[in-house]
Structure 1
Amino acid sequence: MTQPTVTLNDLITTRLTEIAEDAWENHRVMRITGENGRIIQLGSGAVWEQWSCEADHGSGPCHEPLLTLDQAATLVGQPVDFCLVNPAMAAIEMTVLDADFGFQLTELYHLSDVVTEFKKAQG
C-alpha cells in the first residue's frame, strides 16, 4: 500500500489556510486570495492587498485593507524596522509568509493608520 506524498507546497498551503482560519476566528480578518486584492499606493510606494478587516468597530464591518509592518514601511518610505506610533486601531499580531524569510510574525495595521503616518512623514 502506497502512502500519499506530501510536498512542501502542500505543507505551505495547509499552514496558510490555518493562519487564515485563525485570523478570521480571532480577529475577523479576511485573507485576500489570488488576484482578488488591489494595489494600494501612497506617494511613490505601492503594495498588494493581502488582508482585509471585516470586524465591526461600532458602525458595521470595517472593510479596510490591513497592511503588514513591512508593507506599511514601504508606503511610508521608512526603513523596515520602523513602527507606527499610537495607531488609532490596535495592531493585529499574526504570522505571514515572507518570500525571503518564510513564515514570520508581524503586525497588521489598518490602512487609515498608515495614511496618517504617511501624512506625518510628509510634514
Structure 2
Amino acid sequence: MSGPTVTLNDLIETHLTEIAEDAWENHRVIRITGDNGRIIQLGSAAVWERWTCEADHGDGLCDEPLMTSEQAATLVGQPVDFSIPEPSIPAVEVHGLTEHGFQLDELYHLSDVVAEFWKAQV
C-alpha cells in the first residue's frame, strides 16, 4: 500500500507558502506571484517586484515595493553583498529561494533603495 507521492517541488512550494504566510502575519508583507508585480527601475537597471509592504508605519498603508538585498544592489549598482546600513524603515528578514537553497535575506523599502541610489550618485 502506498501513499501520495511528495515531490521536491511540492516541498519547496510548501516552504515558500509558509515563508509568505509568516511575512504577512508578522510584518504585513505580501509576496507577489506570477505577473502581478511591477517593474522597478532606477537609473539604467530594473528589477521585478516580488514583495510589497501593506503595513501601516504611521501614515496609512505603505504599499511600497520591497527589494531583496540582491535587487537593491542591482538598482544601486553595488556588489551583491550590499546592505543598507540605516534604512529609514526597518528591513524585513525573510528566507528567499536562491540557487544555493533557502537563504536569509533582507527586504528594503523602495524609498530606502532610492535614497541609497542618490547617495551613490554624489
Q: Shorter-chain-normalised TM-score: which range?
A: over 0.9
For residues 36 and 111 of structure 2, the distance between their equivalents in structure 1, rounded to whole angstroms, comes to 20
Superposition CA RMSD, Å = 0.8
Post-superposition shift, 1:3?
Answer: 0.7
Partner of 2:114: 115
2:12 aligned with 1:15, yes or no? no
Give unmatched runs, 5+ long, in structure 2: none
Shift of 1:27: 0.3
- Could you report, residue by residue, the CA deviation over 1:17-72 in whole angstroms, capped at 9, with x for unpaired residues? 00000000000000101110111111111111000000001121100000010110
Q: Give the match's secondary structure for 1:19.
A: helix
Q: TM-score, normalised by structure 1?
A: 0.96
Letter of the aligned partner of 1:57 in structure 2? H
- Structure 1 runs of 4+ aligned residues shifted over 6 Å read none
| Cα deviation code 1:78-122 (max 9, x no counterpart) | 001222121100011110111x22211010000000000000101
Aligned length: 122
Unaligned runs of 5+ in 1: none
Percent sequence identity is: 73
Moved more, 5-14 or 83-92: 83-92
Determine whether 1:79 maps to 2:83.
no
The one-letter amino acid paired with 1:31 is: R
| Residue of structure 1 in register with 2:104 after alignment | 105
